Structure 1
Amino acid sequence: MAGLVAAAPPCVNAATSTTNSQESLEAISSNRDSSQIELASQWGLTLEDWSRYQALMKGPRGIYSPGLDPLTALGIEATSAEDRRRYAELQVKAERQRVEKELAYQQAYDQAFKRLYPDEKIIQLSASPASPMTSSPRALKSDGRLAIFVQDNCMACVTRIQNLQAQNQPFDLYFVGSQGDDEKIRRWAILARIEPTRVLNRAITLNHDAGRWQGLGLGGELPAVVREVNGQWQRQ
């Protein structure tokens, strides 16, 4: 009997330890669920949506499009027209809110820069604008670099520029429809988060299109990334 009594405390301790471990696991699980719910709600998604997004990014979609945002990923991989429409509407709302915030901050930044450095430009253009009276388009010069043609109100253009910068890729940017307005290009470059230091060292140049895109005759939607190959300009 004495042996049995002596053995009892370890059993109680083991049971207590097991209970504490279970409580710890439940707490961790609860915290994880709360975190997932919070992340999902930031995108207007349900927890089920968020779990599907995570699963998608662990598969082929994550390889094809690393870092893809939840709404785009879910919209592309939607299994019904109803879901595709729902994700598209959520993304339109999210993009509008994001752009409004960025434009508001950009305006405040521009005002601060003008106050602190009234005689300087935030971003210098690489060349003088072409005269609006020029009848023939300027030729696109080739030095082995990429050239990218962009336009205003083009989120795909902004995304492509940011991807090229992330790859540390030098390029010459040509703004289609600038109408010789330097400030229009500067504002767009700031919105696209083009790094001023890369413009200063000419890793990136900012240029008016001045008819070059039309002169190439390649057609298609913008943005267009092109490079000269064997004397011919080709989309990349």
Structure 2
Amino acid sequence: MKPVAALALLLLSSAQLQATPESRTSVTTSSLATLTRESLEQAKIWGLSEQEWSRFREIQAGPRGYWSPGLDPLTTLGVEARSDAERQRYAELQVRLEAQRAERELAYQNAYADAWARLYPGQLPIRGLSDAPRASPATPRLALFAASDCAACLNRVRQLQASDTPFDLYLIDSQGDDRRIRDWARQAGLEPERVQRRQITLNHGQEPWARLGSQGTLPASFRQVNGQWQRLD
């Protein structure tokens, strides 16, 4: 290789080596900026400051993240509040957010009921296992597990409807047959309007009941609190 060409190659390699740390620094700075923007956007969604979001992430990385995985930021900060003022702030933020969520869900629920009544008049809507109702942290719904040959279950359903209590009915021996649930609902005297408004929902109950270990006799009332089923009777 000629001396001039060798010198040029050496100078090029040296320039590349010198530029590498700067390039790495630029990439790192860009990555941090992206993370900061994402954190600010997430904090804004929940009504939190950047400092509060950082504290939420710190709490997540500690024992609370192990005890309550998937807990939302406001509940996490409220449970781990360092003062009454903090606890009150997060409670009020969560109540406002829950109220907005409930308003949007109610609007969609009404639209869904109107669409069902228009497209499938005379039929009761049935929820599938993948579309099981999710309880709100503020007002968890009652889940009632029943069987088609259970007279006490019929009486319990009638009592709940008479008391205007929203609940999710799971028929544990429906065998995935929508018609079987509808027939049982008619036998129980469930009002179609309440089912269409989702004040009462009809569900196949095999999977959740099996997951609960078939606890005790029927009917069985449960509420889902922090992702855990709690029996009420």
Q: TM-score, normalised by structure 1?
A: 0.59
What are the superposed Cα offsets for residues 100-122 of structure 1, whole Å, 9 maximum, x if unpaired? 00000010011001110001012
What are the superposed Cα offsets for residues 170-215 of structure 1, whole Å, 9 maximum, x if unpaired? 9349677532664586368x379x6x5525x6967xxxxxxx99xx
Given residue 157 of structure 1, which amino acid in structure 2 is its aligned partner?
P
Distance 1:203 1:119 in 2: 28
Deviation at 1:49, TM superposition (A): 1.1
- Find the counterpart in structure 2 of residue 108 from structure 1: 111
Distance 1:99 1:203 in 2: 25
Deviation at 1:70, TM superposition (A): 0.6
Given residue 231 of structure 2, which amino acid in structure 1 is its aligned partner?
V
- Find the counterpart in structure 2 of residue 122 from structure 1: 125
Distance 1:34 1:123 in 2: 42
Is 1:94 aligned to 2:80, yes or no?
no
The 1:21–1:191 alpha-carbon spacing in structure 2 relative to 1, beyond 3 Å, is: farther
Structure 2: which 5+ residue stretches go unaligned? 128-135, 147-152, 165-189, 210-218, 221-228
- Find the counterpart in structure 1 of residue 195 from structure 2: 186
Is 1:58 aligned to 2:67, yes or no?
no
**C-alpha contact (below 8 Å) 2:39/2:53 kept by paired residues:** yes
- Find the counterpart in structure 2 of residue 225 from structure 1: 231
Deviation at 1:5, TM superposition (A): 7.3
Superposed, 1:210-221 pairs within 5 Å as: none
The 1:191–1:79 alpha-carbon spacing in structure 2 relative to 1, beyond 3 Å, is: farther
Given residue 186 of structure 1, which amino acid in structure 2 is its aligned partner?
V
**C-alpha contact (below 8 Å) 1:74/1:87 kept by paired residues:** yes
Given residue 105 of structure 1, which amino acid in structure 2 is its aligned partner?
Y
Distance 1:179 1:13 in 2: 79
**C-alpha contact (below 8 Å) 2:124/2:196 kept by paired residues:** no
Given residue 195 of structure 2, which amino acid in structure 1 is its aligned partner?
R
- Find the counterpart in structure 2 of residue 130 from structure 1: none
Identity %: 32
Is 1:198 aligned to 2:201, yes or no?
no
Q: TM-score, normalised by structure 2?
A: 0.59
The alignment yields a C-alpha RMSD, in angstroms, of 3.7
**C-alpha contact (below 8 Å) 1:37/1:47 kept by paired residues:** yes
**C-alpha contact (below 8 Å) 2:125/2:196 kept by paired residues:** no
- Find the counterpart in structure 2 of residue 19 from structure 1: 22
Is 1:81 aligned to 2:84, yes or no?
yes
